Amino acid sequence: MKNLKLKAARAALDLSQQDLADKVGVSRQTINAIEKGDYNPTINLCRSICKVLGKTLDEIFWEEDE
């Protein structure tokens, strides 16, 4: 499942995938894979991403029931 909330939060701060990757210590490809839904990040990586974006885990990674 694509993570459009992550992409939107990143874009709102005018951060590229590379910028976010640099700030959390992963590759740009990892951020891309998370946004595409091809990679399930560890809780530590989720927390790092949220800290950089100023969001909570729920705001970025919670999946709504459809």
Dump pLDDT digits (tens) for 14-65.
Answer: 999 999 999 999 999 999 999 999 999 999 999 999 999 999 999 999 987 6
What pLDDT was estimated at residue 1?
Answer: 82
Domain for residue 22, yes or no? Answer: yes
Higher pLDDT, 1 or 50: 50
Domain for residue 27, yes or no? Answer: yes
Tokens in use for 44? 């530590």
Structurally, the chain folds into a number of domains equal to: 1
Domain for residue 64, yes or no? Answer: no
Backbone angles phi, psi at 8, to 5 degrees: -65, -45
Write down the residue that tokens 């939107």 correspond to.
8
DSSP output for the chain? ---HHHHHHHHHTT--HHHHHHHHTS-HHHHHHHHHTS----HHHHHHHHHHHT--HHHHHPPPP-
pTM of the model: 0.91
What pLDDT was estimated at residue 42?
Answer: 96
> 50: domain CATH number?
1.10.260.40
Tokens in use for 36? 């595409």
